[in-house]
Amino acid sequence: VHWHQEEQQSHFKQRLSVALPENVAVQPDWEVYAHHRESRVRLNGASMVDNQQATFLCRDIGSRRTDQMSGSVLLNVFGQIERVTLRQQDLDNMCCLKMPGNTYLDLTLDKNRLSYMVLGGDVVQLAAYDDQGRRLMQDPAWRFQAGMKSVYFWGVPDKVVLDISTQTQVSRLNFKVTEPLEPITRPQYTTSLPALIR
């Protein structure tokens, strides 16, 4: 875990980062503490992920001096990602696909409701498009029905694309960093998993 610190006017801007291997998607859960002399304060912040690293942007540091950072990051790592693309004609009836690693995908489309179940894997991300190729917005609400997860789109999909991980690993990384690296240029972040479907 690397600690980056930048001084801006009357306060310090702090962030922590951990490098990621190639061709994986990650969902990090950070627990971060700032230390000064004998005191320890848990920090709030925002978690970001790009293609190269998972980053925690610290809040509530202000003008306080920080001697070290400690804590842990729980990494849900999704590997062996397979992309599945289905057209309207594939979705008219219940669709069942066998994927590598004994992974099965059951999927059905009813107007704007897509219901799916993955056995032996996880859906990392999904997207739907209309017949003009425009991406459809997805309603944030979802529900489970008959063992399947149902999501709703603002329109009727003509094409559905899913990234499915057939290999999942959970790893906890404990850290204690006593000195920040030299300030570096802040990278451009995405707000979700890498390689978002287009």
pTM for the complete prediction?
0.59
Range name among 13-17, 94-98, 133-137, 181-185 with the lowest pLDDT average: 181-185
175: tokens are 């850290």
- Indicate the residue type of 4: H
pLDDT for res 92: 67
Q: How confident is the model at residue 65 (pLDDT cuts 50, 70, 90)?
A: low
Say which residues have a Cβ less than 8 Å from residue 186's Cβ, sequence separation at least 6.
15
Q: What is the distance of C-alpha 32 from the center of its chain?
A: 19
pLDDT band of 62, cuts 50, 70, 90: low
Q: For the residues 116-133, what does the mean pLDDT come to? A: 86
Residue among 74, 59, 78 nearest 28 (CA):
74
Chain segment 127-167, per-residue pLDDT in tens: 999 989 899 998 887 788 778 888 899 988 889 898 888 87
CA distances from 59 to 34, 66, 152, 191 (A): 11, 13, 34, 18
Judged on CB neighbours under 10 Å (0-12, 13-18, 19+), 165 is buried
Could you give the count of Cα atoms lying within 13 Å of 38 in the half-sphere of its Cβ?
0
Quote the distance between the C-alpha of residue 125 and its chain's center: 9
**Nearest-CA neighbor of 56 among 64, 47, 65, 66?**
47
Query: How many residues in total does the chain contain?
Result: 198
pLDDT on residue 135: 92
For residue 188, the model assigns a pLDDT of: 46
pLDDT tens, residue by residue, 14-61: 788 888 877 777 888 899 888 877 778 888 888 888 777 888 888 766
Q: Within 13 A of 162's CA, how many CA atoms are on the CB side?
A: 21
Mean pLDDT computed over 94-114: 80
What does the DSSP 8-state code read for residue 89?
H
Tokens of residue 51, six digits: 């293609």
Residue reference for tokens 């990278």 = 187
